[in-house]
Amino acid sequence: MLKVDGSRYVPRLEPSNYKYNYVCQTCKQAYPRKRRMNIERYRCSRCGGRLMLED
């Protein structure tokens, strides 16, 4: 049987290249970024909602 050690099950959807994951507070659209950005200045391109940094 397959040995389950947990570390093999890294979620594929998780973008490991990106350090910061910004998410729209309204429509939950994700905006992964490699660098920080000013969430006061950037808005969601889908709905115009505010972004928040998700850890």
- Interface ranges with Zn ion (CB under 5 A): 24, 26-27, 29, 44, 46-47, 49
CA distance 32 to 53: 9
**DSSP calls for 24-38:** ETTT--EEEESS---
Do 15 and 32 form a contact (C-beta atoms < 8 A)? yes
Nearer to Zn ion among residue 36 and residue 46 (C-beta): 46
Nearer to Zn ion, 21 or 29 (CB): 29
Beta carbon of residue 30, minimum distance to Zn ion (angstroms, whole number): 10
Give the nearest distance from C-beta 54 to Zn ion in angstroms: 13
